[in-house]
């Protein structure tokens, strides 16, 4: 596991904490379910990044905080939108929760690029023996 995957996992955990709802504010069940479900998904992705930082997990780790950051950025003009109401229940202020989502998305994108660009150890860049040297028996 590389430093980029660790930093993305930490950023996703912070994003989950600041998006967790602690107040009810009289909203319906669907915004509450989203308000609890999104931080749980962030936490699950952070744990998956610690255990197995694969490309699919990293792609999901980019998509979820990006959706949260987009909702924070454009959620104001759409007060009837369920997702913007759910994000409005976050523990932290909107500017802090949005910044945490942006940071998590950017760090996950960095980890994804590092994962895709870096060669797999032992597969692609193995040193070939010099021609004419005796090989060890298998």
Nearest to 73 by CA among 50, 94, 42: 94
Domain boundaries defined on the chain: 3-117
**pTM of the predicted protein model:** 0.77
Mean pLDDT to the nearest integer, 16-38: 78
Binned at pLDDT 50, 70 and 90, residue 47 comes out as very high
Query: Residue 126 CB: number of other CB atoms within 10 A?
Result: 8
Chain segment 72-130, per-residue pLDDT in tens: 787 655 555 767 777 777 788 888 888 999 999 999 999 999 988 886 654 444 455 66
| CB-based contact 26:88 (threshold 8 Å) | no
Q: How many Å apart are CA 42 and CA 17, to the nearest integer? A: 9
In this predicted structure, the answer to whether residue 40 has a pLDDT above a threshold of 50 is yes
């Amino acid at each position: 596991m590389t430093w980029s995957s660790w930093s993305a996992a930490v950023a996703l955990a912070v994003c989950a904490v600041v998006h967790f709802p602690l107040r009810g504010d009289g909203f319906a069940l669907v915004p509450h379910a989203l308000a609890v479900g999104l931080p749980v998904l962030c936490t699950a992705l952070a744990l998956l990044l610690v255990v197995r930082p694969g490309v699919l997990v990293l792609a999901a780790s980019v998509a979820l905080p990006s959706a949260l950051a987009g909702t924070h950025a454009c959620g104001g003009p759409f007060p009837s939108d369920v997702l913007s109401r759910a994000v409005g229940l976050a523990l932290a202020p909107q500017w802090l929760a949005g910044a945490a989502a942006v940071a998590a998305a950017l760090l996950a994108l960095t980890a994804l690029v590092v994962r895709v660009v870096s060669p797999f150890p032992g597969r692609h860049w193995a040193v070939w023996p010099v021609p004419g040297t005796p090989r060890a028996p298998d």
